[in-house]
Amino acid sequence: MSLSITYTTTYSGWTISDYLADWTGYFGDADHRTGTVEDGVNTGGFYPGSLSGTQYALTSPNSDAGFVAEGNLTYTLFNSPAHTLYGSLDEVSLGSKLIETSSGFEFTSGYEEVSFSGLGLFTDVNDLTTTDRGIVHDVVYGLMSGDATALEGVLNDLLDDYGVSTADTFDVVAAALSAGPLSAPAELVGVPELADDLALAA
């Protein structure tokens, strides 16, 4: 699965970096830390399970901004390493006015702003430590904390294959993704330069 990005026309001329800075500033910090967790306020939720599912979503306690992370996600809770998200992360959608339906989390019509799909991230729980919780946790917890640094790093790694970055506008990136990955020109290997050979033989 390759990277794809959908966005509203409002942001077509924005750089991805500027959009992420704007969204995280509006979302703020959910302050999901030891001693400050309030059930139903800054905990978010999984669909369809209570600690695992194909979606994890959170609405900011500071605004109506929210995000949905999609993949195959599991939260360790108190199992070691405690309070860590792992599994696969394929898509992150950002916007406002999140709602929960019988089929999962979604944004109220017209309020999903940007979606990044085809991220292809995976963290094996057996590889986790208390100091390295993996890229899936880093991306999602970063968003919960109003920090898109990890997500932006992932995007730049993927976009590098297309010759663009998060410093480019959504429209420029969309055009590059549509054109496909850059490919290096094929080199001739083991083919003699005939003209030079004839000159040497003369």
Domain 4-201 sits in which CATH superfamily? Haem-binding HasA (3.30.1500.10)
Within a 10 A sphere around the Cβ of 61, how many other Cβ atoms?
Answer: 16
Confidence grade of residue 37 (pLDDT, cut at 50, 70, 90): low
pLDDT exceeds 90 at position 32: no
Which residue ranges make up each domain of the chain?
A: 4-201
Give the residue among 73, 66, 67, 68 at the shortest CA–CA distance from 89.
Answer: 73
131 versus 199: the higher-pLDDT residue is 131
- Answer whether 151's CB lies under 8 Å from 34's CB: no
Report the range out of 26-40, 141-155, 175-189 with the highest average pLDDT: 141-155
Answer for the pair 5, 114: CB distance below 8 angstroms, yes or no. yes
Indicate the pTM of the whole model. 0.85
Cα–Cα nearest to 163, from 153, 173, 154: 173
Mean per-residue pLDDT over the chain, rounded: 88
Per DSSP (E only), the strands in the chain are 4-7, 45-48, 52-59, 65-75, 85-96, 98-101, 104-107, 112-123
**Entry field: residues in the chain:** 202
